[in-house]
Structure formats: structure tokens, C-alpha cells
């Protein structure tokens, strides 16, 4: 893991994010999730890949194989990389 990259929900809050946009191209859906609510439910140390898994738990393609598999990702608008100050 590169240092400085956001790895947990707490990291996103530190960077000034209030919400994350998560969507799945295969299922054609996008959701906006308030970080405050996520932290209350899961804690500051929730890792971002784990959050994707939680959010996509009800995706119909979650158990798919190969190309048919769920493609849930963080959408633009959620900067997970270092941003110039
Ligand atoms: Zn999906």
C-alpha cells in the first residue's frame, strides 16, 4: 500500500469528504453514502475494499463469474488519490 493513499473511511473524512459515490457498471446503479452514517455503523477503520463489498452485497451479479461478475467501484467525485493542496 502506498503511504498517503486513503485506505479507510476515516482517511476519507480526514481528506474532507462527506460522502462517497459507489456504483456498479454491470448493474447500472450508483449510490451516494454519507460517511457519517457509515462510521456510526462500521467504524472509522472500515477499509475501502470492505465497504465496496458491503455496499454490493445485494448486487444480483455479486456471485457471477468472469465478465459477468459485479463491477462495483468508487465513482468519480470520490477522490481516493492524493489531491494537490
Ligand atoms: Zn453489480
Whether 51 shows a pLDDT value over 90: the answer reads: yes
Residue 8 in contact with residue 45, Cβ under 8 Å? yes
Residue 84 in domain: no
pTM exceeds cut of 0.85: no
Edge-to-edge strands of the sheet including 19-24?
Answer: 29-34, 19-24, 72-74
Nearest-angstrom CA–CA distance, 85 and 70: 34
Give me ligand 1 centre to Cα 56, in Å. 6
Work out how many domains the chain is built from and give that number: 1
**What mean pLDDT do residues 55-73 have?**
84
Which residues make up the environment of ion ligand 1, defined by Cβ < 5 Å? 24, 26-27, 59, 61, 70
Say how far apart CA 23 and CA 55 lie, in whole Å.
9
80 within domain boundaries: no
From the CA of 65, how far away is ligand 1's center (Å)? Answer: 12
Which residue segment(s) compose the domain that 23 sits in?
9-74
Region 42-46 average pLDDT: 95
User: Does residue 82 fall inside a structural domain?
Assistant: no
CA 73 – ligand 1 centroid, Å: 9
Instruction: Report percent pLDDT > 70 for the chain.
Output: 82
Predicted local confidence at residue 4, as pLDDT: 56
Please say if the pLDDT value at position 65 is more than 80.
Answer: no
Asked if residue 53 belongs to a domain, the reply is yes
Amino acid at each position: 500500500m502506498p503511504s498517503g493513499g486513503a485506505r479507510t473511511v476515516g482517511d476519507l473524512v480526514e481528506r474532507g469528504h462527506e460522502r462517497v459515490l459507489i456504483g456498479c457498471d454491470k448493474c447500472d446503479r450508483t449510490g451516494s453514502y454519507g460517511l457519517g452514517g457509515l462510521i456510526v455503523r462500521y467504524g472509522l477503520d472500515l477499509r475501502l475494499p470492505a465497504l465496496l463489498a458491503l455496499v454490493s452485497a445485494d448486487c444480483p451479479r455479486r456471485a457471477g463469474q468472469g465478465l459477468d461478475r459485479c463491477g462495483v467501484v468508487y465513482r468519480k467525485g470520490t477522490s481516493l488519490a492524493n489531491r494537490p493542496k
